[in-house]
Structure 1
């Protein structure tokens, strides 16, 4: 299930520049003043928002951004584990109406390989977070998952995570307290 952090935003009204290669081969626009990606633990608090271009049909909006438990790009396939990006535009600007597209290996049952929803990019002083967490068994698709944030034809960032079997990363798989998978 996709989740995002929302707060009050203002419109962004200046030209878009080129792209910069960030750490771990993530692309980020020079408009970003903050870009952090990593693995996190699920949160139950928040509200739901309609997201018709997702398999679940909704996204979960949290009010408190979870901390990353790892800044790596390897993610154990465990219910309750998530991954995503904390980001903010430069100069205190924020932007609503950002399209997040998540491409992933085919889901069991539906065969879905892409989902998208609306999110926001916070500011460098008040960042937003958008993440995907595993809530259902069908989501535990091993392989590369790419998150692309765009505003119209402009890509603000793109980052790839690799979902691996939990036994590959036992400490990280157990970090959220959902480890009863190896019996």
Structure 2
């Protein structure tokens, strides 16, 4: 029996490498992945690899909850947050740490945003270019006035490890 269980444990080890999330009680979150969606605009963000962040018309729904994401251009992953008491947190610094991009060597990206208020907020990442699709631990951290509101690691894995997610997004893309 152990010889059958051992391969499963070895396979599961890289999938749990992302680690535990920290979430301040002032913020409630859902984290995971969803199929990439159209954005309606952008905002300058000079400390990001692209120099901008994309803006969503509506906050996308997390389709796959958890911390494991396949590296593929049809995937987006991140955190949907809400302030249960409606408090607004201005000038929240979002820091995304990740393995070095293949060409540029970028390992960290930063931008300012607002969290809380009456609705949901989203901070997410889409794989727009092949150099960004690097496996390893990616971590979002939201810092407000020197305090961490959330710190959530994700494990980005090769797309071949999660073909069902990729297929679901490709099928949706082909029909929309």
Which of these residues, 66, 90, 95, is aligned with residue 96 of structure 1? Answer: 90
Alignment of structure 1 residues 121-132 onto 2, 5 Å = 121-123=115-117, 126-132=119-125
Q: For structure 1, list consecutive stretches of 5 or more residues without a partner in the other structure.
A: 1-23
Q: Which residue of 75, 79, 86 corresponds with 2:73?
A: 79
1:51-95 Cα offsets, whole Å, 9 max, x none, are 000011010011211111200211011002111111112311122
Does residue 38 of structure 2 align to residue 30 of structure 1?
Answer: no
Aligned residues: 154
Conservation of the 8 A alpha-carbon contact between 2:30 and 2:62: no
Report Cα offsets for 1:6-40 as digits up to 9, x if no partner: xxxxxxxxxxxxxxxxxx721011211x2110101
Structure holding more helix per residue:
2
Matched, 1:69 2:63: yes
Structure 1 residue 45, shift from structure 2 partner: 2.7
Q: After the TM superposition, list the runs of 4 or more consecutive aligned residues in structure 1 that deviate by more than 4 angstroms.
A: none
Deviation at residue 178 of structure 1 after TM alignment: 7.5
2:73–2:128 contact (8 Å) kept in structure 1: yes
TM-score scaled to structure 1, two decimals?
Answer: 0.79
Residues 153-179 of structure 1 show CA distances to partners (whole Å, capped at 9, x for unaligned) of: 100000000110111111012221189
Which has the larger Rg? 2
Aligned mate of 2:46, from 38, 43, 52: 52
Separation (CA, whole Å) in 2 of partners of 1:43 and 1:168: 22
Contact (CA 8 Å) 1:79, 1:178: kept in 2 or not?
Answer: no
8 Å Cα contact 2:80-2:120 kept in structure 1: yes
CA distance in 1, matches of 2:50, 2:156: 19
5+ residue gaps, structure 2: 1-18
Q: Distance in 2 between matches of 1:104 and 1:78?
A: 15
Q: Which one of 148, 161, 182 corresponds to residue 154 of structure 2?
A: 161
Contact 2:59 2:120 in 1 (8 A): no
SS of 2:131's equivalent?
helix
